[in-house]
Structure 1
Amino acid sequence: MPTRYVAVCGATEATPSQLDAARQVGKLLARSGAIVINGGYGGVSGAASEGAASEGGTVVGLLSESDRDGANPHLTVSLPTGLGQGRNLLIVTAAESVIAIGRGWGTLSEIAHARRLGRAVFALDSWDVEGLEVVDTPAEAVKRAIGG
């Protein structure tokens, strides 16, 4: 099966259960051989990165700033963009599918960009927006995101 590129999007200010879900999503994506793409800092991005790295996965962080300061330590590749929130478009453009966890405003912008691009978005404890596919577990999110 070809390598899949999956964005894991979510708020920096996430609940403990959302962080646990993100960590599990990262682990499962890494086990499947998918490349994880995210915003590269803390919160959901940090937890997903940690989970993927713990399984030897590849994690690409597209950072909002023009340097690597503050990037989470679990990234395989950290790419400073200097684009601020504009980097959200890059994150979902680089991905083939998106898993959204939590309800931050940045997450909502990533969802909107992804849907505009025709990317499938799987919502796990996230926004209830028309066009999203709501899933109940990290395993279901990953299975759907990688085309299983």
Structure 2
Amino acid sequence: MLPPSPRPTPNREETDRVFQVAVCGPRNCTDEQAAAARQVGVLLAEAGAVVICGGGTGVMAAVAAGVRSAGGTVIGIRPGADREGASPDLSVTIVTNIGEARNAVIVWSADAVIAVGGSWGTLSEVALARRRGGVPVVVLDGWRVVGPDGTTVDDGIAYVSSPEEAVQQALLTA
């Protein structure tokens, strides 16, 4: 069961500011990952969160469609100099012309990060979020970060198996 509304993160004062969740994932994803991302979008919108994503295809388009179908707000941070390739389901498209550096904009704008699936770009977003610190990182059907000793790094990363669990972890641990 999801909380009725998102809580503020511990590192900010309680305000009326809306909770922002980044949802990251590959532009080339499986049908299962797309379905999971869409459900994550629905659940986040129902919880009142604003979703931030890369705004393109694959997981990004699926989460945008889920958010839109539930009447929520989804912001796409695009890497190029124009809106070409942006998902039609975005509420807002931000054109950056900074390439992959936009991953840092996505992560630094979020109160929590959910990664669905995995690509090199997704891994960079997970790494940036962990390097940033202070925000929960939730991974659903994606990268498992392994330390030099061969054990899974789980400090600050929650590995989950369902969209419901991903959203719950993101909203409750932030």
TM interval, short-chain normalised:
over 0.9
| Higher normalized helix content (fraction of residues) | 1
Partner of 1:64: 79
For 2:60 and 2:119, how far apart are their aligned partners in 1?
A: 12
For 1:85 and 1:125, how far apart are their aligned partners in 2?
A: 22
1:147 deviates by 1.7
CA root-mean-square deviation? 1.0
* Aligned-partner SS, 1:51: helix
Unaligned runs of 5+ in 2: 6-15, 146-152
1:84 deviates by 0.7
What is the aligned residue count? 148
Task: Give TM-score, length-normalised by structure 2.
Answer: 0.83
Unaligned runs of 5+ in 1: none
Deviations 1:52-101 (A, max 9, x none): 00000000000000111111001111000001111000000000110001
1:20 deviates by 0.4
Task: Give TM-score, length-normalised by structure 1.
Answer: 0.97
For 1:53 and 1:36, how far apart are their aligned partners in 2?
A: 10
- 8 Å contact kept, 2:55–2:61: yes
Partner of 1:97: 112
Rg larger in 1 or in 2?
2
Partner of 1:136: 161
Percent identity between the aligned chains?
49
1:4 deviates by 1.1
| Higher normalized strand content (fraction of residues) | 1
For 1:31 and 1:52, how far apart are their aligned partners in 2?
A: 8
